[in-house]
Amino acid sequence: MDLKSGLPWWLIKDGLMTNFNILQKNIETEIVIIGSGITGALAAHFLCEAGAKCIVVDKRMSSTGSTAASTAQLQYEIDVFLHELSDQIGTENAVKSYSLCLKSISTLKQIISKLKLDCSFEMKPSLQLAANKQGTKKLKLEYEFRKKHKLPIEFLDKKTLKKQFGIDRDSAIYTDTSAQVDAYMLCRLLLDHHKKKSGLEVYSYTEIVNVNHKKDGIRLLTDRGHEIKAKKMVCSPGYESEFFLKEKVMKLNSTYVFISKPVLKNLWPESCMIWETARPYLYIRTSTDNRVIVGGEDEAFLNPESRDRKMGQKNKTILRKFKKLFPEIDLEIDFHWCGVFGETKDGLPYIGVHPEHPNTYFALGYGGNGITFSVIAAEIIRDLYVGKPSGNEKIFAFGR
């Protein structure tokens, strides 16, 4: 699948890897991880830290799938309000899923700090704006629900929002627990760290064409005819999971993003991340060199050609929406891109085992919170592998 097009900023900023390997022999390992994006990299990190011998394979150059197109906004909120998610999966599981997302940001911060990974990680506040009167009603409900369950949140009315942020919207909710990162660089650095420390082997341009489930493990066949023999498989192929999982658990959408040239003035207070109650919503963050990344105009994915034809008009619409929000900030588009993402019925990922796929752990971090879901998935899979499940896998199970 053509996961992205245009010029994702992270590929321009960080460049492509030059030290990649292609699998050219039969190989045996404890765990084979399918997918070298941020989900696969985090799974490799937690499993290697637990002492497992792993290899990672990807049909592309490692880290260059959807991860390279991610805007990497790390929030504990998911795309479904907590008070609505509670109606779908029960209050206990809904609150737990939000709490796990909150914890995952701290976990990721600790990993980056401990390993001294230079990946532009920054803690940033987050501001969700009401798109209209109905949005304000939902934000008030959400504020009360989260406060009741002791989750961090503040409600800003129209006057306060205008005074503190200069934004003319009816209301907003504010949290100070979010973060942003260069996900492409983070992914590369995590893989490189464990290549050196843990003997992790990472193979690019190595496509799996057949999966054979055995009683004692997994046998995989590559496009060059080589066999990978493993005890377990971690399936983290992002939005290309249909080869490994026949059950349809998500629908595909396209999203459009641009990054501005550096802005030679102060931006909005705290340079906080911004998103909306509208669907589809506008999302905004900044870069370390005072650029503004703006995305949105999501729609159902039909095919890459249809998606790409719309990129120019989508950019104009996104820029117009930004200027309506911040008329005093003059943005010039520097690079732009579009990409595929998946969403589920409840906004939650699918993590863990599937009855039809023995010796396999799935890490399918679909939704707007892909990276925080990836942290959660990696921890759950590590716990399952070492035989100490936390029980959190039940929240994200297939068939829920």
pLDDT at 315 over 80: yes
* Closest CA relative to residue 379, chosen from 38, 93, 42, 33: 42
pLDDT at 84 over 90: yes
4-70+184-249+347-394 and 251-343 agree in CATH topology: no
**pLDDT number for residue 13:** 94
Task: For residue 371, name the pLDDT band (cuts at 50, 70, 90).
Answer: very high
Q: How many Å apart are CA 228 and CA 201, to the nearest integer?
A: 12
Burial 293-330 (b: 16+ CB within 10 A, else e): bbbbbbeebeebeebeeebeebbeebbebbeebbeeee
pLDDT at 129 over 90: yes
**pLDDT number for residue 1:** 61
| Tens-place pLDDT, residues 262-294 | 999 889 999 999 999 998 899 999 999 999 999
Q: How many Å apart are CA 347 and CA 119, to the nearest integer?
A: 27
**pLDDT number for residue 96:** 98
Query: What's the topology of domain 4-70+184-249+347-394?
Result: FAD/NAD(P)-binding domain (3.50.50)
Q: What is the mean pLDDT of residues 168-184?
A: 97
Q: Give, as one character, the DSSP assignment of residue 4.
A: E
**pLDDT number for residue 301:** 82
Helix (H/G/I), strand (E/B), else coil: 229: strand
Q: What is the mean pLDDT of residues 343-349?
A: 91
Q: How many Å apart are CA 57 and CA 23, to the nearest integer?
A: 8
Q: How many Å apart are CA 169 and CA 306, to the nearest integer?
A: 33
Residue range 251-343, CATH number: 3.30.9
Write down the domain spans for the chain. Answer: 4-70+184-249+347-394, 251-343
In the chain, what's the furthest Cα-to-Cα distance?
Answer: 65
